[in-house]
Amino acid sequence: MFVYNNEVPLEDLGAGVSRKIMAYSDNIMTVEVHFEKDAIGPLHSHPHEQLTYVLSGKFEFTVGDETKIVGPGDTLYKKPNVMHGCRCLEPGILLDNFTPVRKDFL
């Protein structure tokens, strides 16, 4: 299975955030998330494991009780049911990987 980025529609989520659901199965999902400067990914939790890779931009992330600044090439791990969220400091793109699939995104 091949997924070409230029063929995947960008879904506007509002408030300066949009996403592309790149590929998924019942067990795993990859999502590209685009942020404008000052856009917020509100604090939330979910039962999925999540890895976030910063493709571009700069973000202030809170994961659990820790808050740090991350940029291109940095990766974050979020355990299931741990509160997390971010604020975009410079326009950027995150690549989120979830297991299992986020059925609420489909």
Residue 38 clears pLDDT 90, i.e. is over it: yes
Q: 22-105 is classed in which CATH architecture? A: Sandwich (2.60)
| Global confidence as pTM | 0.96
Digit-coded pLDDT (tens) for 16-35: 999 999 999 999 999 999 99
Is the separation of the CB atoms in 28 and 99 below 8 Å? yes
Q: Where are the alpha helices (DSSP H) in the chain?
A: none
Digit-coded pLDDT (tens) for 45-103: 999 999 999 999 999 999 999 999 999 999 999 999 999 999 999 999 999 999 999 99
Residue 1 clears pLDDT 90, i.e. is over it: no
- The structural domains of the chain, with segments of one domain joined by +, span 22-105
Q: Report helix, strand or coil for 7.
A: helix
For the stretch 50-63, what's the b/e string if a residue is b when 16 or more beta carbons lie within 10 angstroms of its beta carbon? Answer: bebbbeebbbebeb
